[in-house]
Chain A
Amino acid sequence: MGMLKNTIKNLFSKPATIMYPAEPIPPLPDFRGQYTMDHSKCIYCHLCEKRCPVGAIKIDKEMRQNEIYLSLCINCGVCVEVCPKDCITLEEVYTPPSYTREVRVFHTEPTEHQLKVQELPIYAEEGKLCITKTELEEIKGELTEHQYRVAVLPCYRRDKADEKKEKA
Chain B
Amino acid sequence: MKVVNIIPFGPQHPVLPEPIHLDMQTEGEIVTDVKVVVGYIHRGIEKGLENDYEKNMFLAEKICGICSGVHTSTYSTVIESIMGVEVPQRAELIRAIILELERLHSHLLIIGLVGDAIGYENFFMQTWRDREIVMNLLGTLTGNRVHYGINKVGGVRRDLTDERIALIKKALAELRPKVDDIADIVYHDYTLKKRGRGVGVLKKSDAIALGIVGPNARASGVNYDIRSTGYGAYKDLHFKPILGEAGDCHERTVVRVKELYQSMELIEEALSLLKPGEIAVRPKGFPKGEAVARHEAPRGELFYYARGIGKKEMYRVKVRTPTYANIPGIPPLVKGMQIADVPYIVVSLDPCIACTER
Contact = CB atoms under 8 A, between A and B. Distances in A.
- Do any beta carbons of A and B sit within 8 angstroms of each other in the complex? yes
Contacts of B188: 1-2
Nearest to B144: A32
Interface residues of A, number: 19
A127 interface: no
B278 to A, nearest CB: 16
A2 B185 contact: yes
A29 interface: yes
A3 B143 contact: no
A166 interface: no
A75 B185 contact: no
Contacts of B58: 53-54, 74, 76
Interface string B171-188: 000000000010011001
A30 B55 contact: no
A77 B59 CA distance: 15
Interface stretch (B122-130, B285-293, B313-321): B122-130
Nearest to B56: A53
Interface string A10-43: 1000001000000000001111100000000000
Contact of B140 (A29, A54, A81): A29
A6 interface: yes
A28 B136 contact: yes
A76 B152 CA distance: 12
B189 interface: yes
A17 B55 CA distance: 36
Interface string A60-91: 00000000000000111100010000000000
A10 B123 CA distance: 12
A7 interface: yes
A31 B55 contact: no
A3 B144 contact: no
B127 to A, nearest CB: 11
A160 to B, nearest CB: 29
Given A53-B55, A81-B157, A31 B144 contact: yes
A2 B122 contact: no
B65 interface: no
A72 to B, nearest CB: 12
B30 to A, nearest CB: 32
Interface of B: 55, 58-59, 122-123, 126, 129, 132, 136, 139-141, 143-144, 147, 149, 157, 181, 184-185, 188-189
Q: Which 5 A-B pairs rank lowest in CB-CB distance, beginning with the nearest?
A: A32-B143, A53-B55, A2-B184, A28-B139, A53-B58
18 contacts: A2-B184, A2-B185, A2-B189, A3-B123, A3-B185, A7-B122, A16-B132, A30-B143, A31-B139, A31-B140, A32-B144, A32-B149, A53-B55, A53-B59, A74-B147, A75-B144, A77-B149, A81-B157
Interface of A: 1-3, 6-7, 10, 16, 28-32, 53-54, 74-77, 81
